[in-house]
Amino acid sequence: MPVYEYQCTACENQFELRQKFSDEPARECPSCGGEVRKLISSTAFTLKGGGWYTEGYGPKKSEAASCPASSGGSCSDCPSAAAA
C-alpha cells in the first residue's frame, strides 16, 4: 500500500498515512481536527544502472567504436595501442 503525506492548514502538522488506492483522502488532522491537504513528495523508488536490456540483450560495443582515433583523438590514448 502506498504512503501519502498530508499537512494540516491550521496547525502545520505534517503526517503520513498508509492507504489503499481506493481509500478516500484524509480530510482532518489527527492532532487538531483541522483541514488537511495532500502533499506531493518525491518517491524513494529509483532506477540505476544500464538496465537489463543494455547489459544482457543490447548491441555489443566493438573495440573500433571505443577507439579515441575514431572520434578525432590520438592512438596514444587507445588501450589496444598500449597493449601492442
Residues in the chain: 84
pLDDT score at 42 = 77
pLDDT score at 44 = 73
pLDDT score at 31 = 94
Q: What is the mean pLDDT of each run of 10 residues along the chain (84 residues)?
A: 92 94 94 95 73 65 57 63 55
In this structure, are residues 35 and 8 in contact, taking their beta carbons and an 8 Å threshold? yes
pLDDT score at 68 = 58
pLDDT score at 46 = 72
